[in-house]
Amino acid sequence: MTRQWPAPAKLNLFLYVTGRRPDGYHLLQTMFQFLDYGDTLSITPTGGGCIRLLNPIAGVVENDNLIMRAARLLQLYCWAADDPRAPGADIRLKKVLPIGGGLGGGSSDAATVLVALNAQWDCGLTLATLARLGLTLGADVPVFVRGEAAFAEGIGDQLTPAAPAEKWYLVAVPPVSIATTRIFGDPELRRDAPRRSLAELITVPFRNDCESIVRKRFSVVEQHLSWLLEYAPSRLTGTGACLFAEFDTEAAARQVLLQAPAWMQGFVARGVNVSPLHHALSGARNSCPPAA
């Protein structure tokens, strides 16, 4: 049976770089919140162990595609490589989240595949196990797997459930893709933010330590952020390129979007503390099987 599963975007409501490990990974303190907006995956379980992405992403080699890597990872975790009972899947992706936008699209797609196939293949794995598998694919995958807004530390993998205000956001999407490695590798990036408790962090204005570097290196991001700041508190998410302006109501966010210049593309979405993926998972568990 084919099911559709959301792969929501995330925002980093704040992001502080507190250090760097010897292996090159950066130490962070950040707040993840989901959006009620994102990619959609249609997944049909099949027999014979074959996993297919029916509409590959242009320019992304299959072996590098996080959707395929996640599906194969789960398959090999639950079945031996030569087990004829291993199931397969046909996967179709409706991609709306930009690549290199800081909205977590690739990580979210991977997490959705893990959660969805765990359900559709009847693997029976816990979210904790899926999160551990997801961490091998990327530092942001576990938060999407667990599906709760979270305060994250370490490399982004030490998660504490959190409940930030569920505001409305105008998300601007500049026409540029920014590799995380480029920003974290920038010699001018400050990596000495003090580690603070969550109780302290939520009492001070939110900031993103990557923002000044991205604004300096990418003039189009600077242009977009300068415009947004005229209307509302606005920041970079992740290492960019996307930016978000926060509002108390949907109407206020949409009103500003209507005033956006022709060179600005974006969308309005609500911040949510429970992932749309987990609402879909609950619905799948509660639904009855189709009549024979």
Average pLDDT over residues 22-33: 95
At residue 287 the predicted structure's pLDDT band, cuts being 50, 70 and 90, is low
- Please provide the average confidence, as pLDDT, over all residues in the chain: 95
Query: Of all residues in the chain, what percent carry a pLDDT higher than 90?
Result: 91
Contact 110, 138 (CB under 8 A): yes
Structure tokens at 173: 């999407």
pLDDT at 18 over 70: yes
Q: Are 101 and 60 in contact (CB under 8 A)?
A: no
- Sorted by sequence, the CB contacts under 8 Å of residue 50 that are 6+ apart come out as 88
H/E stretch holding 151 reads strand 150-153
Token reading at 262: 């022709």
The pLDDT tens digits for 66-83 are 999 999 999 999 999 889
Q: Which residue has the higher pLDDT, 60 or 235?
A: 235
So which residues are the catalytic ones? 10, 140
Q: Which phi and psi (to 5°) does residue 248 adopt?
A: -85, -20
Question: For 124-145, how does the pLDDT look when each residue is reduced to its tens digit (9 = 90+)?
Answer: 999 999 999 999 999 999 999 9
> pLDDT at position 61, please?
82
Q: Which residue has the tokens 């990327």?
A: 138
- Extract the runs of DSSP E, i.e. beta strands, from 3-74: 3-20, 26-46, 51-53
Does the structure show a pLDDT above 80 at 285? no
Whole-angstrom Cα distance, residue 180 to residue 184? Answer: 6
When pLDDT is cut at 50, 70 and 90, the band that residue 290 belongs to is very low
Q: In this structure, what are the phi and psi dihedrals at residue 94, rounded to the nearest 5 degrees?
A: -100, 105
Q: And the tokens for 191?
A: 């990596």
Taking residues 40-54, report their average pLDDT.
Answer: 96
Helix/strand/coil percent split, the chain, to 5: 30, 25, 40
- Inform me whether the pLDDT recorded for 269 exceeds 70: yes
| CATH 3.30.70.890 correct for 1-286 | yes
3 state DSSP class of 256: helix
Residue 292 confidence (pLDDT): 33
> Mean pLDDT, to the nearest integer, of 222-244?
98
**CB of 114 closer than 8 Å to CB of 66:** no
Least confident of 110-114, 153-157, 244-248: 153-157
Looking at residue 73, its amino acid is L
Confidence class of residue 291 from pLDDT cuts 50, 70 and 90? very low
